[in-house]
């Protein structure tokens, strides 16, 4: 098997005992499987939940707290306990565990985005296991969004992973709830995720987790958009992750012939950068962008909305009001308002570094698949 970069996400239900406390036997089972993958030569990045589940008992709560403040306090206690357990377990196999606590803001800032990529890449080059969790003590997104499912998809995308493995307490996706419907049939493979599947998916089945199949389907769809294949399921033992990579996993494989992975800069523009405004363009500029692979020039701009600065990211809409793409702009909004519709040579004096383009092709991402007619 060729060397692969694999992101493994472990949910709370796969780490805790029936009372909601951290189960060291379950944790060790996961660590042993990750260590085996690394021994086979693969790069592995672990996205782990479990900080709240590990911390609410020692903090004195009889069950998982329901308030945001209670969850964040439990996470503050539990994160260190969780990392102690991981560090001790990985050390038994000769691997060093490295902790990274993230918030969604780390994906919005281009500088932090690039620094994060460099840090994780360096850790992998030195044989460490990056262990990532959302910073639950200061961020409420993991506590309300889906047990790190979407975070794992974002990490898999920007690291150009070959596979995202979402380990859960159910062995894959079914056409009905297998816990209530004995006739439910499991999907061994899905080429894509539809809106109907997401609407039909329920919430979390676990009292100690926040994720459910809906959040996993949303994460899978996001990962697929990055060109990352996905597995959702379960497993036990040292070889469970290796089996999943070889197509023998107990769960559901999701994907199709995967598209070429995005360059990191364009991925940041498309999915992470805050959008500061909107530019409306005419049909000629739309054709140039979508059909002829050209940059956007001032002559094709018909309207400007928002108070953006040069090098901010903006949405680009056509004459029908449809968003066709997104890009990093060389003009501030006020300056672009002055030069919209004008030739590039007249307009470039107002742009960043006197560039003739409003959005250069290298800073452009198409968000609409279909082409316009000539």
Binding residues for substrate: 49, 136, 148
Torsional sign, CA 308, 311, 312, 317: positive
Report which DSSP code applies to 269: I
Those residues whose C-beta lies under 8 Å from the C-beta of residue 68, and which sit 6 or more positions away, are 140, 143, 144
Q: What does the block give as tokens for 259?
A: 């598209």
The C-alpha atoms of residue 336 and residue 338 are separated, in whole angstroms, by 5
3-state secondary structure string, 150-190?
A: HHHHHHHHHCCCCEEEEECCCCCEECCCCCCCCCCCEECEE
Binding residues: 9, 49, 136, 148, 168-169, 210-216
- How far is the CA of 263 from the CAs of 255, 293, 365, in angstroms? 20, 16, 10
Phi first, then psi: what are they for 162, rounded to 5°? Answer: -85, -25
Binding residues for ATP: 9, 168-169, 210-216
Q: What does the block give as tokens for 76?
A: 């503050």
Q: Which of 247, 240, 223, 203 is nearest to 160 (CA)?
A: 223
What strands lie across the sheet with 163-167, from one edge to the other?
A: 97-102, 129-134, 43-48, 5-10, 163-167, 229-234, 250-254, 189-190
């Amino acid at each position: 098997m060729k060397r692969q970069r694999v992101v493994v996400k472990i949910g709370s239900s796969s780490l805790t005992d029936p009372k909601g406390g951290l189960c060291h036997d379950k944790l060790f089972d996961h660590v042993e499987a990750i260590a085996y993958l690394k021994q086979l030569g693969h790069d592995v990045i672990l996205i782990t939940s479990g900080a709240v589940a590990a911390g609410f008992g020692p903090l004195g709560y009889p069950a998982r707290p329901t308030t945001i403040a209670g969850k964040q306090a439990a996470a503050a206690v539990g994160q260190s306990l969780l990392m102690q357990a991981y560090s001790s377990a990985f050390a038994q196999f000769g691997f060093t565990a490295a902790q990274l606590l993230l918030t969604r803001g780390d994906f919005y800032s281009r500088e932090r985005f690039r620094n994060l990529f460099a840090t994780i890449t360096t850790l992998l080059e030195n044989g460490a296991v990056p262990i990532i969790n959302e910073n639950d003590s200061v961020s409420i997104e993991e506590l309300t969004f889906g047990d790190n499912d979407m975070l794992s998809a974002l990490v898999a995308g920007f690291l150009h992973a070959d596979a995202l493995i979402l380990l859960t307490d159910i062995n894959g996706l079914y056409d009905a709830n297998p816990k209530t419907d004995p006739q439910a049939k499991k999907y061994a493979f899905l080429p894509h995720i539809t809106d109907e599947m997401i609407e039909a998916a329920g919430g979390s089945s676990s009292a100690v987790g926040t994720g459910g199949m809906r959040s996993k389907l949303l994460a899978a769809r996001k990962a697929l958009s990055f060109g990352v294949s996905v597995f959702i399921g379960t497993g036990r033992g040292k070889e469970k992750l290796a089996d999943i990579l070889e197509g023998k996993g107990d769960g559901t494989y999701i994907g199709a012939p995967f598209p070429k992975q995005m360059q990191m800069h364009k991925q940041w523009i498309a999915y992470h950068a805050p959008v500061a405004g909107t530019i409306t363009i005419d049909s000629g500029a739309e054709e140039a962008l979508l059909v002829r692979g050209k940059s956007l020039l001032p002559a094709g701009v018909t309207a400007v909305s928002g108070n953006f600065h040069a090098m901010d990211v903006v949405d680009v809409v056509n004459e029908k009001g449809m968003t066709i793409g997104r890009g990093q702009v060389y003009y501030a909004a006020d300056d672009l308002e002055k030069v919209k519709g004008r030739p590039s040579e007249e307009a470039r004096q107002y742009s960043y570094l006197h560039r003739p383009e409003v959005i250069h092709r290298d800073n452009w991402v198409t968000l609409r698949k279909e082409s316009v007619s000539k």
